[in-house]
Amino acid sequence: MGEGVNGVPMSIERIDDDAATALVLALLVLLGALCCYLHVRKPRCVVVADDFGISMERNRGIIRALKSGVVTSTSVMANGDAAVEAIEMARANGLLGVVGLHLNLTEGRPLSQPQDIPSLLLQRGETHQPGTGLKGGTLLRGKMGYRNACGSGEVKAAEAATEARAQLAWFEKHVGCMPRFVDGHQHCHVVSVVREALAAVFAAAGVRVTRVPKERKPSRSLCPLCSIVDLEAEEARAVFAAHGVSSCEGFVGLSLCGVDYSADDLLHAVRTQMEHGARSCEVMVHPGEAHMKGTPWDDFSGSAARQHELDVLTSTGLRRRLRRLVRLQPHR
């Protein structure tokens, strides 16, 4: 046996080196496992950009937010002015797997034949939006028109289901499969008169997830309409769950929608959901470029706030700060 350092046999020295190496490797493995455990223990957060396909300006903003910001999923509006282009852009950027359907029963032109869904449409001669010159008969009722007609019993659940199936079929045709998740433009899917029928349609199409816009302890006071949506959402959760369609436990979006929020506001809202017991959270956002005056879409879509929201969602450091709180993931 040869002599090692300070007279220690070389074989013993080699054994000590091997043992030390093995110990270091074991510690690294344990450290990696601990990091993975702590990461998995973080609440899951999905950041969804609505209105993909409504215009090229919104499409460009959403693609940028997906690639450079904190947005993890987007939902396409099948009857949007640039819906086909939206799918093409997602495919070209390798993002098709994070696209769901933004069911729209309130604005624009439906995909169903008008005679099949008369209760969803404006009456002949009514204008969809003041100043547009677009007349009723083939246009959806608009946000408040839809809600008022639902409240008065005019909207037929079967006709809402017909239009939902038409939009799902459009998605399957252009994407090549049914969507994993569906949310509702202006939360049209949680209204009491239609949600049972829509839940059945979603389940039949294999949709796994929908949005339940119930915000735990909103960071700001909700507007009257958002307060109604908040109440509808809690009741809708059980309806969709009974059909096997799940939803995130927490939600952020009602309190920030339509305001010039900051990165700090967004982080605070997400943290609040976690502090009140949510192990998963969906964040609804509307990034894009300002656009679209004099169209059938509402003023929200044409607001300069869309550019502000895009700037916040792609701001330096927001992804890193958000990842300290949650696991950022697309809808699965």
d(CA 117, CA 201): 16
Residue 35 pLDDT more than 50? no
What's residue 9's pLDDT? 57
Cα 301 to Cα 46, 136, 289, distances in angstroms? 22, 20, 9
Q: What is the pLDDT of residues 218-230, one digit of tens each?
A: 867 788 888 999 9
d(CA 330, CA 332): 6
- pLDDT (mean) for 291-316: 77
Residue bearing tokens 């390798």: 94
Q: What is the pLDDT of residues 234-253, one digit of tens each?
A: 899 999 999 999 999 999 99
**Confidence band (pLDDT; 50, 70, 90) for 217?**
confident
Residue 153 pLDDT more than 90? yes
Provide the 3-class DSSP secondary structure of residue 312: helix
Provide the 3-class DSSP secondary structure of residue 75: strand
**HEC-encoded secondary structure of 169-184:** HHHHHHHCCCCCEEEE
- CA-based nearest residue to 202, from 189, 188, 220: 189
Task: Please compute, for residue 262, the number of CA atoms within 13 A of its CA located in the half-sphere on the CB side.
Answer: 3
What's residue 289's pLDDT? 86
What's residue 292's pLDDT? 53
Contact 137, 118 (CB under 8 A): no
Percent of the chain topping pLDDT 90: 70
- pLDDT (mean) for 179-197: 98
d(CA 30, CA 34): 6
d(CA 81, CA 45): 30
Q: What is the pLDDT of residues 164-175, one digit of tens each?
A: 999 999 999 999
Residues 6+ apart with CB under 8 A from 256: 219, 220, 265, 266, 269
What's residue 37's pLDDT? 43
Please tell me the chain's helix, strand, coil percentages from 3-state DSSP, rounded to the nearest 5.
50, 15, 35
Contact 293, 281 (CB under 8 A): no
**Confidence band (pLDDT; 50, 70, 90) for 28?**
low
Q: Which residues are catalytic?
A: 50
What's residue 176's pLDDT? 98
d(CA 10, CA 24): 21
Q: Which helix (H) or strand (E) holds 146?
A: helix 143-151
Higher pLDDT, 297 or 245: 245
What's residue 170's pLDDT? 98
Please list the residues that pair with 199 across neighbouring strands.
none
Cα 229 to Cα 3, 82, 130, 280, distances in angstroms? 81, 28, 25, 20
- CA-based nearest residue to 79, from 295, 228, 241, 310: 295
Higher pLDDT, 35 or 108: 108
What's residue 144's pLDDT? 92
CA dihedral defined by 201, 50, 54, 237, rounded to 10 degrees? 20
**Confidence band (pLDDT; 50, 70, 90) for 138?**
confident
- CA-based nearest residue to 252, from 236, 237, 232, 274: 274
Please list the residues that pair with 184 across neighbouring strands.
103
d(CA 4, CA 233): 74
Task: Please compute, for residue 29, the number of CA atoms within 13 A of its CA located in the half-sphere on the CB side.
Answer: 6
